[in-house]
Structure 1
Amino acid sequence: MSGDRWLIALDIDGTVLREDGVMNDPVIAAVGKVRDAGHEVMLATGRSVAMTLPILDRLAISPEYVVCSNGAITLVRDADAPLGYRREHVETFDPTEVLTTIRENLEGANYAVEDEAGLYKFTGSFPDGTLGAVSEKVPFEELLAQHATRVVVISPGHKIEDFLSVVERMGLHKVSYNVGWTAWLDIAPDGVNKSTALERVRALLDIPRSRVMAIGDGRNDIDMLEWASAEGRGVAMGQAPDEVRAAANEFTGTDLDDGVATALAGF
């Protein structure tokens, strides 16, 4: 199988998981079939490590590598690690400039900084479950002292169009950023995204670019889909917004219609 093995990278939320958190049986079965055929099926997600590992269990996969935090953290399988994986590559940055810039431009926003251990320190308020199980509320100034793998900003008082406009006007430098479905800004180290991590993984696994496949639905999947589409298969979920679809070279059904199972049916 090594001669024709594919690297298949799956987003989590809105892709293998429905937006309501349900994972449909046809998706689990399709992933299992591809896994059993000898292909490398992995996750590439914006989630933290702690929020990602349980999804591996639900899918019954144990890939060599897992990409978390929108590419800032890559895990490698390690039988001696407490949860079966250890951090293989971690990218961090100083969040001071971006946090202070955003605070000057977005009145009433809430901020969170994730460190390489997966701890979130935050100000303001975040919906339950969005920051995972390990988080600590701190004064804004304490956020500036962190080595960040990711900065998250939510601004419920802004409509998504207004939020996008403000973000564009800020002219953020030295970071990579994307905006989620709602007024949610996700900021990673400069030049780091899912595609940069996946290219590193692909090289480590020695799988050609022509045999990579990525499936996703959100703006944080655009780089990943462009990377996969260049020589392989970049698949946008049916509910993906237009700019995400533009990055793909294939399309499938929505999360509600088991789009992942449809996309994997040919393996």
Structure 2
Amino acid sequence: MALATAVRCLPPFQPSSLSLSRSFLLRPLPQFAVFKSAQNRIRCVNSGHVLEESAFGFRHGPMRVTFRLLEDESKRSLSTWGIRDAGGNLKNGVQCRAVPSSPPPPKEAAVEVPVIVDDDLDEADSSLLAVVEQLKLDAPLAVKLAIEGFEDFDQSDTVELSVLLCSDSRIRELNKEWRRKDSPTDVLSFSQDQPAGSPLTLLGDLVISVETAARQAEERGHTLIDELRILFVHGLLHVLDYDHELGPEASKEMEEEENRILSALGWKVKGLIYSSSVACDTNGKTTKGLGLAELDSDRDSAVISKTKFKVLFCDMDGTLLNTKSKITQKTADALRAAMDAGVTAIIATGKTRPAAMAALRPVGLAGAGGLLSESTPGVFLQGLQVFGRKGEIIQNITLDLGVVAETFKFSVEHQVPLVGFTGDRCVTLFSHPLIDELHDIYYEPKAEVLESVDELKKVGIQKVIFLDTAEKVASFLRPHWSLALKGRATVVQALPEMMEILPSGVSKGLGVQILLDHLDVPVEEVMAIGDGENDIEMLELAGWGVSMANGAARTLAIANAVTSSNDEDGVARAIEDYIL
């Protein structure tokens, strides 16, 4: 008898029937062996119907029925299954075969890749037309391979990525507009921010210079269509959030994915990362391993995406300021561009607020409408003084009076210059050329000379800085005070020739965290740039921490990325790479 007939013979389903049937199923009856396989279906030999396993048995349409295996479990490949009523009586018997179950195939989204030829190219060129037609065939195949396994596309009916083929002059315009690089490149990737689960998923747009591609094809010894395939795959992976500039591991991952896609499609070429890192020496031998710095040139492709970073924290000495304690016009322009893009740029420094404003004033970044004013948020004095919305003070911490007295007595006895910082003031017990440099070079308020330690105690010192040669700081001052303070205060360094003593448990990173909580900004939306050991906590806290190339060894080690040095406009480069 067919299984469908057997099911029609069942009485209407009642909740009580399910209850009795379930208890019957759980009874230890030796003649019955329950079929245990959540990954199997039951195919009826008589009818070919397939039933899917449910909580208490199997489901057929809206009906719930309970099955019993009437033979030994070891012979279940072809067994008689019975449909029992609520009383446990066998109503019908059919032979069913257990067959391996395979999940239904996932819905495959249609892939559309329109390829557009820009007006500045000769569309009548027969060789160009042939390449375009081939790319129209190749591109959707590459997209399908690239998005395999991405859950983001499970609910999509269509996935679309558009391609514009253009000249060097056109891509140069776009490169200058979006990346501030006035030179042609090979491919630009414009990613599209879009919620997951949309029926139509727009990956973004790729712009490829055919002229640059032709030159690179000749240099690398393959055809133009091969080079376009390489550039297409590279740009495609960028819009899927691969980024070789994030470090060696990210570069290796993206290189492997490029080569996987190209190889799977039978294209006998290597990806752009591999190709760009192979050079010919004077003997004609190829060598691999030029590294990320050489790969990151104006000719290399870049991804342009609406930034996920809403806040940028930036250190000053050794970061914004070059070795001449100046901010270059290029760095100032990059900061303005970031602010114009909607990013809130915030200073996080060991300086006082007046000193930070004095450093920013020559490039027009201080005052109303600038990066810093008396009504903008900021972190100063290594996090001891934090200003929130509209410039209100949300943290103001002072140093232990015992530590203040001890450090200044030491300064007088050993004639080591020492400056105390209190709000917008600097104080000391004696004049010294190195103390004058704090004002003349580092923009700090001119130090006031007080008469005694007792006077110092009255002003509320927040931190102190010892000034000496880098060698003496490293060999004498830092070891001495690290031991002498014994947890009563913290020793940090921003510059080799300066050693700072702060209250215990306070740091620039903590000041940044307090300000983020005040502004209600998640760390994932934060990028931070710094160079010194005092910046480590801030870089670790941020969603993206960037170290200057001139950074301390420990800072370089913990950073997510490393930019150029402070004498090479490293801040400007980091903003261009990760924000603009």
TM-score class normalised by the smaller sequence? 0.7 to 0.9
CA–CA distance in structure 2, aligned partners of residues 173 and 102 of structure 1: 18
Equivalent pair of 2:493/2:499 in contact (CA under 8 Å): yes
Give the structure-1-normalised TM-score. Answer: 0.84
In structure 2, how many angstroms separate the alpha carbons of the residues matched to 1:100 and 1:177?
14
Mapped contact 2:564–2:573 kept (Cα < 8 A): yes
Are 2:367 and 1:61 aligned? no
Counterpart of 2:466 in structure 1 is 153
Deviation larger for 90-99 or 232-241? 90-99
User: What SS is found at the alignment partner of 1:92?
Assistant: coil
Q: Is the Cα–Cα contact under 8 Å of residues 347 and 372 in structure 2 kept in the other structure?
A: no
Residue identity in the other structure for 2:484: M
More helix by share: 2
Of residues 194, 199, 203, the one that matches 2:517 is: 203
> Does structure 1 residue 221 correspond to structure 2 residue 532?
no
Q: Deviations over 1:183-220 (max 9, x none)?
A: 42212222111111111111222221111111011222
Per the alignment, residue 481 of structure 2 pairs with 167
* Contact residue 94 and residue 144 of structure 1 kept, 8 A: no
Which protein is bigger by CA-based radius of gyration?
A: 2
Residues 141-186 of structure 1: CA deviation (Å, up to 9, x unaligned): 2334441221122244962331332233324423222024334221
Residues 28 and 148 of structure 1: is their aligned pair in 2 closer, same or farther, counting only changes over 3 Å?
same
Cα distance in 1, alignment partners of residues 421 and 495 from structure 2 = 20
**Partner Cα separation in structure 2 for residue 8 and residue 242 of structure 1:** 23
Q: Which of 165, 168, 191 is the aligned partner of 2:505?
A: 191
Deviation at 1:9, TM superposition (A): 0.3
Counterpart secondary structure, 1:113: strand
C-alpha spacing 1:152/1:160, structure 2 compared with 1 (3 Å): closer
Kindly report the root-mean-square deviation, in angstroms, between the aligned alpha carbons of the 2 structures.
2.7
Q: Which moved more, 1:240-249 or 1:40-49?
A: 240-249
Whether 1:70 and 2:70 are equivalent positions in the alignment is: no
Secondary structure at the aligned position of 1:127 is classed as: helix
Q: Which of 236, 240, 261 pairs up with 2:572? A: 261
1:90 maps to 2:90: no
Q: How many percent identity over aligned positions?
A: 24
User: How many Å apart are 1:86 and its aligned residue?
Assistant: 4.8
Output the amino acid matched with 1:161: A
SS in 1 for 2:435: coil
Distance 1:4 1:179, change over 3 A: closer
User: Which deviates the most, 240-249 or 66-75?
Assistant: 240-249
Aligned position for 1:82:
none
Distance 1:205 1:187, change over 3 A: same
Q: Give the distance between the partners of 1:76 and 1:55, measured in 2 at CA.
A: 21
Q: What 5-or-longer segments of structure 1 have no aligned partner?
A: 79-84
- Letter paired with 1:159: K
The answer to whether the aligner puts 1:51 opposite 2:355 as a matched pair is: yes
Alpha-carbon distance, 1:91 to partner: 1.3
| Match status 1:108 vs 2:415 | yes
- Shift of the 222–139 alpha-carbon distance from structure 1 to 2, 3 Å rule, reads farther
Contact 1:96 1:145 in 2 (8 A): no
Deviations 1:207-256 (A, max 9, x none): 2111111101122212212222xxx1111100112022123221111011
**Do the aligned residues in 2 keep the contact of 1:154 with 1:184 (CA within 8 Å)?**
yes
Cα pair distance change 1:157/1:11, threshold 3 Å: closer
**TM superposition shift of 1:120:** 1.6
Question: Residues 5 and 40 of structure 1 are in contact (CA less than 8 Å); yes or no, is this contact kept in structure 2?
Answer: no
CA contact (8 A) 2:317 2:494 kept: no
Name which of 545, 569, 575 aligns with 1:234.
545
Cα distance 1:153–1:143, how it changes in 2: closer, same or farther (>3 A)?
farther
Residues of 2 paired with 1:244 and 1:252: CA distance? 12
User: Structure 1 pair 76/209, CA: closer, same or farther in 2 (3 Å)?
Assistant: closer
Match of 2:556 in 1: 245
Regions of 4+ moved over 4 Å: 101-106
The aligned residue for residue 15 of structure 1 is 319
- Contact 1:164–1:179 (CA under 8 A) maintained in structure 2: no
On the 8 A contact 1:94/1:147 being kept in 2, the answer is: no
Preserved CA contact (<8 Å) 1:101 1:170: no
1:35–1:41 contact (8 Å) kept in structure 2: yes
Instruction: Tell me how far apart the structure 1 counterparts of residues 355 and 446 of structure 2 sit (CA, whole Å).
Output: 10
Per mean C-alpha deviation after superposition, the further-off stretch among 92-101 and 5-14 is 92-101
What SS does the aligned partner of 2:448 have?
strand
* Cα distance between partner residues in 2 of 1:156 and 1:99: 23
Residue by residue over 1:87-138, the C-alpha shift from the partner in whole angstroms, topping out at 9 and shown as x without a partner, is 342111333235416855983322222223x222202323324152342112
CA deviations on 1:13-50 (whole Å, 9 max, x unpaired) are 12111120221122111111111111111100111121
Matched-pair contact (CA < 8 Å) for 2:408–2:429: no
Contact 2:508 2:535 in 1 (8 A): yes
Q: Number of aligned pairs?
A: 256
| Unaligned stretches of 5+ residues in structure 2 | 1-306
Quick check: 122-131 or 8-17, which moved more? 122-131
